Structure 1
Amino acid sequence: MPLSSCYIQVNEGQRLLDIRRIYVEPAAAELPRGKEILERFPEAERIEIEAHHRIPELYGDEANVARWVRIKTEALVLGVKKSLTARPNGRSSDFIAPSTANGCAMACAYCYVPRRKGYSNPITVFANIDKITGYLARHARRQGAKPEPDQVDPHAWVYDIGENSDCSVDATVSGNVRDLVDLFRDLPNAKASFATKYVNRELLGWDPRGRTRVRFSLMPAADAKLLDIRTSPVADRIAAIDDFVEAGYEVHVNFSPVVVRDGWLEDWAELLGQLDDALSPAARAQLAAEVIFLTHNDRLHEVNLGWHPKAEEVLWRPDLQQPKRSQTGGWNVRYKTGHKGRYVTALTGLIAEKIPYCRVRYAF
Structure 2
Amino acid sequence: MAIVAASGGVASASRTGGVTASTGRSSATAFDGSGMWIWYVNQSNGGSIPGIIARARAHKVRTVFVKSGDGTTYWPQFSQVVRPLQAGGLKVCGWQYVYGDRPGDEATVAAQAVKTGADCFVIDAEAQYEGKYSAAIKYMRKLRSKAGKHYPIGLAGFPYVDYHPSFPYSVFLGPGGAQFNVPQVYWKAIGYGVDTVMGHTYLWNRPYGRPIYPLGQLYQDPARSEIIRFRKYARAEGARGVSWWDWQEATNTGWKAVGDPLSAFHHGVVKDYATLSQGGGFFDLVLWAQEHLRGAGQSAPRTGVFDGATTRAVKKFQRSNGLKVNGRIDKPTWIALLRYPVARASAARLSAASSGHSMPRAKRYEIPPPALRH
TM-score tier (shorter)? 0.3 to 0.5
Q: Return the TM-score normalized by structure 2.
A: 0.34
Structure ranking higher in strand proportion: 1
Structure with bigger RCO (C-alpha 8 Å, 6+ apart): 2
